[in-house]
Amino acid sequence: MVKSLVNGSDIVILLLVSIVVFWLYSILWFNGSQQGRAETLLVQFADNSPLEYSLNQDKIISINGKRGPSIIEIKQGKARFIHSSCRNQFCVFHGWLTTPSATSACLPNRISISLSGSLANFDAIAGSQ
């Protein structure tokens, strides 16, 4: 006689675990409305003072870094690297920055971008940023 691999209590446990996982996912992922709205882009390159740009105006910015130009796009309140002179393009693959305190960097080119705004994300160590 073939014994069933899954019995009724296993199905109930799997269903409850699935509900808890979905609930946690929805709380952690969709809770972005409490993070505030990013208002400005800060561009830091080498040891220079950061440049500040409003996220309210769509713009393409070219910054000459250590290895050549990096191109940054501001569009619809978001920002991202769209090109850089580095080999691996990790900064480009990082994608859009959308929330306050979000950061991306092209380390070989010594350029970083970050968003700032109201009600920044909370950091477990430093508190509100």
pLDDT tens per residue across span 76-106: 999 999 999 888 889 899 899 988 888 999 9
The whole-angstrom separation of Cα 28 and Cα 25 is 5
Q: 36-122 has which fold?
A: mini-chromosome maintenance (MCM) complex, domain 2 (2.60.320)
> Counting Cβ atoms within 10 Å, is residue 42 exposed (0-12), middle (13-18) or buried (19+)?
middle
pLDDT at residue 30, as a whole number: 59
**pTM exceeds 0.85, yes or no:** no
pLDDT band at 41 (very low <50, low <70, confident <90, very high): very high
| Residue boundaries of the structural domains of the chain | 36-122
Q: What is the mean pLDDT of the chain?
A: 80
